[in-house]
Structures are given as C-alpha cells and as structure tokens.
A and B are shown apart, each in its own frame.
Chain A
Amino acid sequence: MDFTLDSHQEAVLEAVRTLLSRHGGPARLHDLGGDEPGYDHDLDKRLAEAGFLDIAEPRSACRLDAALVLETLSGALASSAAGWRLLVLPTLDVDVEGPVALVAESHSGPARFAADADALVVIGDDRVRLVRPDRRIPRVRSRLGWPVGEVSGLPEGGVIDEAPAAEVRAWARVALATEMVGAMQFALDITVRHVSDRRQFDRAIGSFQAVQHGLAECSVAVEGARWLALEAAFTGAASTAAAALTQASEASKLIFRRTHQYHGAMGFTREYDLHLSTLRLLALRSEAESLGRPAAACAHEHWGI
C-alpha cells in the first residue's frame, strides 16, 4: 500500500496544473459565463494535444492516473466533459472526437454537456448506445456552473456491441465521485483561506471552535470521499464505485452547507468564486441519482439487495 504519488504521476499532475494555471481556474470559468458557462472547447483541445485525455489504456482495469487528472481538472473548475472521456470511454471501443455527454436510457430532461456533445453515451439496463444526435440538442438555462442541454426523444440505434452496461455505469460513478471531490476541495480551500483572513470580534473567524470543528468534519468527509473514489478508480470494482459515489454525494451536502455558512454574505454573491464550485455539486448529485440511487446501488453491489 502506498498513498503517495509516484514520480510519473507527480510529473503528469504538475503538467496538468501548469496548463490549468493558464487556461483554467475560476477566472476562466467567469470568462465562460460564471455559473452559467459555455463549454471550454479550447481547454479540451489543449488537454488532448498534451495527451492528457487518453491517459487510461482502452479496457484497462486500473484508471487511477486518469482519475487523478480528472480530480485536478475539477478542482480547477474546468467546464469540460473530460471526465467521461478519461474514465468511461476506455470501456467502450468507440471513436469520438469532441465532447461526449452521458445519460441513463430512462432519462429525459436536463443533462450536462448534452448541447455541446458530438455524441451521447446512453446507458440502459443491459446495453450501452452511442448516439450521435442528428440535430443539436437545445441548451437549457441552468445556473449551476455547467453547460446543460435538454435531452428528449433521442434517436434509436447505435448499440455498442458487447459493451458491459454495468461496468460503464460503475465507471460513470467513479467519474462523478471524482468530480465531486475536486469541486469540494475547491470549496473547502477557499473557505479555509476566508476564515483565516476574515476578522470579526478582533480575531480570525477561523479561531472560533464552532467553525474549526465544522471545517474539520468537512475535511474528513472530503478525504474519505477522495480515497474511496481513487480506490474505485484503482480497482474498477463496481461495489467500491457505488460506495465512493454515495460517500461523495453525502459529503457534498455537508460541504455546501458549511462553506456557505462560514462565508457569511460574501459567499452569497455572484462576484465571489465560492458558488462556482458549490452550485456544481447539486448538478453532480442530481446526475448521480439519475444513474440509479447511489446508496441503493451500493447495497446492491455489496450484498445483492
């Protein structure tokens, strides 16, 4: 067992961070529209050129490196569907150039990236389809920090031969859990900075024990979610994927409540960066549920209930 990054992983993440410091981060998301952003095609292009988007081998069981890249992207608030490409596409033998969206077969309604995607991965009970919509899927207004499209009446066909639906679903869960971890870490970091700097009653508000305990619990919740998500990416086990997503979803509720609370009115403004990460968590959680309730999936994978 070893929870530290090896030198190759260090180097990859350092390179990704360098790229993001120029082309990602909250300033970039503000440029793209803030909590109602457009899709960051430019970032995708740069990531693809540098080879960061196909870091996991096709059909590989361990996608840890890809998950580490995704966590970094999410922590820099990338407006990109790289998560599906990094963690889900390696299971499917398909060739798609641009962004992909991912929805459950039964889903109709808003879906992240659907309006920008060249193709949609549609997960059914026992089959997976790759749908290339014949017309652009309409955009829908959402203020939760992601570009969103309104999916309805997708065309038939596009069934991918021998694609294991359960496995695809599991990797989608790993991707969502990992994205939640990145967004939660962003929210936690900015809050720790805020309560260290902000002074009331002649002391930093982070010196109040109520605030310290609250943030300590947040930190434990994010760490737990992180290690579970990375473990799931390491083993590819469906049960760990379901557990990781359940834990990340629960943690995200706590992170949302506390980080906003400790910011006071400041966190309630669109000019400040906190909401760019916290509002995203709602969309991710909603998507997690649409793939089948994570806690129920967890019980099913572990104990067959």
Chain B
Amino acid sequence: MNFDLGPELGAFRLEVRAFLEDFGDIGAFFHHEGAYDDATRRLYLALGERNWLALAWPEEVGGEGKHPLFEFVLWDEMARSRAARPPLGSGIVAKTIIRAGTEEQKERFLPGLRSGEVFFSLGYSEPEAGSDLAGLRTRAVRRGDVYVVTGEKRWTSGGHRADYLWMLCRTGTQESRGRGLTILIVDRRSPGITVSPLTALSGERFNEIFFDEVEVPVDNRIGDENGGWQLIGESLATERHVQFQPSRVRRDFDDLVEWLSERGLTGDPVVRYRLSDLAVRVAEVEALALAMCEAVQDGRDAAVEAAANKLAGSEVAQEVSRLAGDLGVPDSVVVGSQIEYLWRQSISETIGGGTSEIMRGLIAGRGLGLPLKG
C-alpha cells in the first residue's frame, strides 16, 4: 500500500500553484455576484494556452494524453486557491464528443473548448425533473434536418452567459423514461430561447430557460437519437475524479481556524474541542479522496468511492462553515464576512451535482449490495 500520488503528480501540483500565483484572488470557485468577470475569462484562456483544459484528452484530438489524476490535481489546487471550478465544456462535453461525436463535431467544438474560449452550461434539470432526471419533459421533435425543442430547463448555472447549452431532451415517449432521451447542443442565442434569472442564496445566478419551438440542427445531436441516457452515464464516470475537491474543505477549515484565532477564540476549550473534531473529519475527507483517486488510477469504476468522496466532502464543508455560527461569533452574521458567505453557500453542496440522499442510495445499493425491495 502507498498513500502518495507519486513524484510526477507532486511536481505538477507545484507547477499549478506557481501558475496560480499570477491570478491572485479571482474567487470564481464560488460564483459570487459579479465574480465571473474578465479575470475569470483570462484564467480560462491562460489554462487553454497551457493546454491544461485538455490534460486527459487523447493526443490525437489535441489533448495532453495524461492520466485523469492530473485533472484531479489541477482542480484540487484551483479549489484550494478558490480560483475556479472545472468547466463543464472541457470535461463532460468534450469527453462525450470525443467518445461519441462525429469528426465534423470534433472539429467544430473541440478547439474552442480546449482554448477556454467557448463556454457551455448544463441543461439537464427541469421544474419536474431533479433527482429523477429520467422524468424530464423538454421535447425535441425531428422535422427534416432540425429538431424543434419546446420546454423548460431550470437551475442552469451560468446559462445567461453560455455560448451553448448541453441539453438532455425527450425524443421518445414520456413512459420510455431514460430510453427516450437525446443529447443536443443548443446555441444559446437561437430564436425562441428566453433566459430568466433566479437568485441563489449564495448570490450566484441560476436561470430558468424557456424553449419555444427552438430549431436545432440535427448535426448538433451527439450520439444516437434516444441514446442520451447511456452517454450521460458514461460521461459522469469520466468526471468522478473532479466531482468534489477535498482541498476546498481543507482551505475552508484553515480559514476558519485563522478567523477564530484572529478573534482570540482558539484558547477557549470548547472551541478547541470542536476544531479538533473537525480536523479529524477533514482528514477523513482527504483519505476518502485518495481512495477514490486510487480506484481511478487503477481504472476501476469508481462510482462508490466517488459517491463517498462527495457525500463526506460536502457534509464536512457544511460542518466547517457552520461552526462559527454555532459558536455564536457575532461577526458570523454580517454580510461581507467570509464565514457568513461560506455558511450560505455551502447549503447547496449537498444538493447540486446529486443530493446526499442519491449518494447514500448509490453507496447502499452498489457498495453494500443492499436490495431495493424485500
């Protein structure tokens, strides 16, 4: 047994840290009000220049052909410095196109994704379809060489500034559930699309996106008609190692300790006791992340390990962010205090990207082999 990621990844981690020094406090890991600005764009373009958005893509499509754990290290460091989150475009979108797209689609979409110039949003969830994604209703009807899309997507992060929407649409009957879904790439500026804002408690902007007979070229379909469900399942599997970054929790914890010591509170025995409990949980999160990395390194299906990583990581992130409030530190209630921001923001971590209940279900079913029905 060996608990080290190895010298090559260690060296890469240092390289990423050095790279990030030039970018200071962008803070786009959390989508504060107005945080997605020119600085964030510059960061993605700089990543593109180094070809770090294509670290694990195969070389024949312009990638670096590295092991996925390089991506883990990159985004883990980005989380530690709170610079940015892994973009959907160079992850799920690009990897699915590489696996299932046509040559023409690869040529059309991959260069912009690799360079960090093109931005995608994820159009999966709908008012009636959250945890139960296979129940989604946004309909795509084939008419000649276009699909006509009608329906509503919700909670679309970044949907108002995206170039494209990566959409899952219903092409089969409602009863066909997962067997009747198709992936379409929709140009966000197409006629018939209306984007309206919803404000998250973190200040982040979500969107509701309405589609009124939006025409989408058949050439923008990825994979087969009604083959979308399998593709998104496979794409989740290729992104498990960047689903939740343990260094986010480490950073939050370090900041909390510093914040409490600046206020002269770390001598208090109750504070010390709570902090030491939390320190153990943070260590647990890091250990579970390593276990997930090991499965990925081995090329095993890391579904259960990744679910454990996300479950523990997101819950501990909440515990860390809630401690100051639990201790009753008065500044923890004021807008502008980092601690108060984390407290609000972390509410969403056990919901977005699959809720804790769905993670627990996966661990119980696939990890422990428990039956669904007696």
Residues of A within 8 A of B (CB): 36, 107, 109-111, 140-144, 148, 199-202, 205, 208, 210-211, 253, 257, 260-261, 264-265, 267-271, 275, 279, 282-283, 285-290, 293
**Is A286 within 8 A of B333, CB to CB?**
yes
* Chain B min CB distance to A143 (Å): 5
Task: Known contacts A201-B131, A293-B270; decide if A285 and B325 are in contact (CB<8 Å).
Answer: yes
For B355, the chain A residues whose CB sits under 8 A away are: 261, 264
B104 to chain A, nearest CB (A): 36
Chain B contacts for A264, CB-based, 8 A: 130-131, 351, 355
A275 neighbours in B (Cβ, 8 Å) = 201
Residues in B325-373 with C-beta less than 8 Å from chain A: 325-336, 340, 343-344, 347-348, 350-352, 355-357, 360
B307 to chain A, nearest CB (A): 15
Instruction: Judge if B234 is at the interface, Cβ distance under 8 Å.
Output: no
- Interface pair A286/B351, CB less than 8 Å apart: no
| Minimum Cβ distance to chain A for residue B350 (Å) | 6
A265→B360 contact, CB < 8 A = no
B318 CB–A CB distance under 8 Å: yes
B199 touches A271 (CB 8 A): yes
User: Does A268 contact B335, Cβ atoms closer than 8 Å?
Assistant: no
By the criterion CB–CB under 8 Å, are A143 and B335 in contact?
yes
**In the complex the two chains form, is A210's CB within 8 Å of B333's CB?**
no
Residues of A within 8 A of B357 (CB): 208, 210-211, 261
- List chain A residues, Cβ under 8 A from B327: 289
Residue of B with least CB distance to A250: B326
Asked if B350 and A261 make an inter-chain contact with CB atoms under 8 angstroms apart, the answer reads yes
Q: Which 9 A-B pairs have the closest CB atoms?
A: A289-B328, A109-B330, A200-B132, A141-B335, A270-B199, A286-B328, A282-B325, A201-B132, A265-B155
- Neighbouring A residues of B290 by C-beta, 8 Å: none
Using A141-B334, A253-B326, A282-B325 as known contacts, list a sample of 5 further A-B pairs with CB atoms less than 8 Å apart, ordered by residue number in A. Answer: A110-B330, A144-B333, A200-B129, A261-B351, A261-B357
Judge whether B344 and A269 touch: CB under 8 Å: no
Query: In the assembled complex, which residues on chain B have CB atoms less than 8 Å from the CB atom of A140?
Result: 334
Interface residues of B (CB under 8 A from A): 125, 128-132, 135, 154-155, 198-202, 206, 270, 318, 322, 325-336, 340, 343-344, 347-348, 350-352, 355-357, 360
Specify the chain B residue showing the minimal Cβ separation from A269: B198
Point out the residue from B125, B199, B329 that lies within 8 Å of A269, measured CB to CB. B199
Bound CA span A36–B334, Å: 11
A142 to B202, CA, bound (A): 13
Query: Are B334 and A110 in contact (CB-based, < 8 A)?
Result: yes
Q: Which residues of A contact B330 (CB under 8 A)?
A: 107, 109-111, 286, 290
B356 and A261 within 8 A (CB): yes
**B131:A269 contact, CB within 8 angstroms:** no
Q: How far is the CB of B281 from chain A (nearest CB, A)?
A: 15
- CB neighbours of B360 from chain A (8 A): 210
Distance to closest chain B CB from A205 (angstroms)? 8
> Closest A-chain residue to B330, C-beta based?
A109
Q: Which residue of B lies closest to A199 (CB)?
A: B128
Determine if A265 and B322 form an interchain contact, defined as CB atoms under 8 angstroms apart: no
A268 & B347 in contact (Cβ 8 Å cutoff): yes
